[in-house]
Structure 1
Amino acid sequence: MRASERIINEVAQGFRAFEEAVTWFSSLELGEQRAVLQEVVRYSMQAHATAQDGRDGLLRSGVKTTMTPAVLIVRERILEQMGRIINLPPSEYLNAFRVLLSVFVVADTRRREAECRGACGHAWHNLH
C-alpha cells in the first residue's frame, strides 16, 4: 500500500487526524500534490460519492464556501465537478485537497457502514 493510499484511508477511518494529512499534503511537490488529488477523486468514485456527500464533505473541510473548490463541489454531477477541481491551478490545490478528502471521508464512511459492515475484504478498509 502506497503512503498516500494509507494516509487517505487512515483519515477516512479516523486513525489519522485530518489536519495531519493536510500538513503532509502541503509538504509535497506540486506534481505529487496533483497526483494525490487525482487519487482522492478515484477513491471517491469507488465509494460512489453523491452530491449530498459533496455538501456534507464541504461542511467538514474548513474551506470557505466562496472558495472555488467549495463552489464547485456543491453543484450537481459531483464526479464532473471533481474533475474540474483537480484541474484548478496549483494555488487552489490545498483547498481542493481539503474539500476532496472531506468528501471522500463522508462517502467512504457511508459505504463502509452500508455495504461492508465489518465483513469487508478490501485491504484499505482493514487498516487497524
Structure 2
Amino acid sequence: MKSSERIINEVAQGGRALDDAVAWFSSLEQDQQRAVLHEVVRFAMQANASVEDAREGLLRSGVKPTMTPAVLIIREPTVEQMGKVINLPPGEYVKSFRVLVSVFAVADARRRETDCRGSCGHAWHNLS
C-alpha cells in the first residue's frame, strides 16, 4: 500500500486526524497533490459516495459551505461533481482535499458497515 493510500484510509477510519493529513498533503508538490486528489476520488467512487455522504462529509471537512469545492460536492451527480472538484485550480487543492477525504470517510464507513461487515478482506480496511 502506498503511503498516500494509507494516510487517506487512516483518516477515513479515524486513525489519523484530518488536520494531520492536510499538513502532509500541503507538503506535497502540486503535481503530487493533484495525483492524491485523483486517488481520493477513485476511493470515494469505489465506496459509492452519494450526495448524502457528500453533505455529511462537507460538515466534517471544516470547509465553509460557500467555498467552491463545498458548493460543487453537494450537487448531483456526485461522481461528476467530484470530477469538477479535482479540476479546480491549485489554490483550491487543500480545500478540495479536506472535502473529498471527508466525503470518502463517510462513504467508506457506510461501506464497512454494510458490504464489508464481519469478514472483510480489503487490506485498506484492515490497517494495523
The TM-score with structure 2 as length reference comes to 0.98
Percent same amino acid at aligned positions? 71
Runs of 4+ in 1 over 2 A off after TM superposition: none
**Which amino acid is 1:30 matched to?**
Q
Counterpart CA distance in 1 for 2:31 and 2:121 is 32
**Which amino acid is 1:96 matched to?**
S
Calculate the aligned-residue CA RMSD, in Å: 0.6
**Helix, strand or coil for the counterpart of 2:101?**
helix
Q: Could you say which residue in structure 2 is the equivalent of 1:79?
A: 79
Q: Could you say which residue in structure 2 is the equivalent of 1:122?
A: 122
Deviations along 1:72-122, one digit per CA (max 9) or x if unpaired, are: 011110000000000000000000000000000000000001111131000
Unaligned runs of 5+ in 1: none
Counterpart CA distance in 1 for 2:15 and 2:60 is 16
**Which amino acid is 1:69 matched to?**
P
Q: Could you say which residue in structure 1 is the equivalent of 2:68?
A: 68
Deviations along 1:3-27, one digit per CA (max 9) or x if unpaired, are: 0000000111111111110100000
Q: Could you say which residue in structure 2 is the equivalent of 1:45?
A: 45
Counterpart CA distance in 2 for 1:60 and 1:14 is 12
Count of residues in correspondence between the two structures:
128
Unaligned runs of 5+ in 2: none
Counterpart CA distance in 2 for 1:96 and 1:18 is 13
Matches within 5 A, 1:2-21: 2-21=2-21
Q: Could you say which residue in structure 2 is the equivalent of 1:22?
A: 22
Counterpart CA distance in 2 for 1:118 and 1:58 is 28
- In the TM superposition, residue 126 of structure 1 has moved relative to its aligned partner by 0.4
Counterpart CA distance in 1 for 2:126 and 2:118 is 9
